[in-house]
């Protein structure tokens, strides 16, 4: 798999009014529940008064974000690299670079990475954290 697009994104930055936040200065953290899943919190509730949050998500090969719901957040995924499957309200959707998915609040969903792992840009409205 070509990770160049993800690495370019991972080395990017967020432009917000009078400041620039380099992504490479934001640490990766292990997902608190799902093994093999790491998160980079690009912008969080404290930065947006709870309106939204953005996160890079790195899922190791054959690992998954298991079935769950978000009570109040609409979530979107933009697939940057890798491949996998998202089950969104019972419907399986193939994830590959260039795919964008919308996961409404109160809808069960899960994401399973394939052999190459999966790299997502996830957004939450309102903020997840």
The stretch 96-103 carries a mean pLDDT of 96
Domains, the chain, with CATH or none: 4-125 (2.60.120.10)
- Please give the model's pTM, rounded to 2 decimal places: 0.92
Q: What is the mean pLDDT of the chain?
A: 94
The stretch 42-57 carries a mean pLDDT of 96
Per-residue pLDDT band at 2 (split at 50, 70, 90)? low
Q: Which of the residue ranges 19-23, 25-29, 85-89 would you say has the lowest mean pLDDT?
A: 19-23
Q: What is the pLDDT of residues 61-95, one digit of tens each?
A: 999 999 999 999 999 999 999 999 999 999 999 99
**Interacting residues of 126 by C-beta distance below 8 A, sequence separation 6+:** 45, 50, 51, 52, 72, 73
How confident is the model at residue 99, as a pLDDT?
97
Q: Is cis: bond before 76, omega within 30 of 0?
A: no
């Amino acid at each position: 798999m070509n990770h160049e697009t993800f690495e370019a994104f991972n080395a990017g930055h967020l432009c917000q009014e009078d400041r620039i936040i380099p992504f490479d200065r934001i640490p990766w953290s292990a997902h608190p529940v799902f093994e093999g899943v790491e998160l980079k919190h690009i912008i969080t509730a404290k930065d947006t008064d709870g309106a939204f949050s953005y996160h890079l998500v790195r899922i190791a090969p054959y690992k998954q974000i298991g079935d769950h719901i978000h009570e109040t957040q609409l979530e979107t995924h933009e697939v940057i690299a890798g491949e996998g499957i998202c089950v969104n309200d019972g419907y399986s959707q193939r994830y590959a670079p260039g795919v964008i998915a919308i996961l409404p609040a109160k809808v069960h969903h899960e994401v399973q990475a394939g052999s190459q792992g999966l790299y997502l840009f996830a957004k939450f409205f309102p903020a997840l954290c």
